[in-house]
Amino acid sequence: MVRDPVCGMLIDPATAVATREHAGQVFYFCSQECVDKFDADPHYYGHPESEEDDTNDHEEHHNH
């Protein structure tokens, strides 16, 4: 299992909606909305250790 860097949801890499590579790391996404947010600011989402833990807002932007 891997964690979507935008919403924090744990997902199976085999069923990820999309992947992106940033700073030598591959990221996996649960939805196109998360992909779009990542694409808009990959540095922000690609470096979670440099920011507050705000990964619990998954339900705010889409439902699963």
Enter the pTM of the model: 0.73
The DSSP-derived string for 18-34 is: EEEEETTEEEEESSHHH
pLDDT (tens digit, 0 to 9) for every residue of the chain, 64 residues total?
Answer: 999 999 999 999 999 999 999 999 999 999 999 999 999 999 999 886 654 444 444 455 555 5
- Helix H or strand E segment including 35: helix 32-40
In b/e form, how buried is each residue of 24-51, taking b as 16+ CB within 10 angstroms? eeebbbbbeebbebbeeebeebbeeeee
**For the chain, what are the domain ranges?**
2-51
User: Which fold is adopted by the domain 2-51?
Assistant: Ribosomal Protein L24e; Chain: T; (2.30.170)
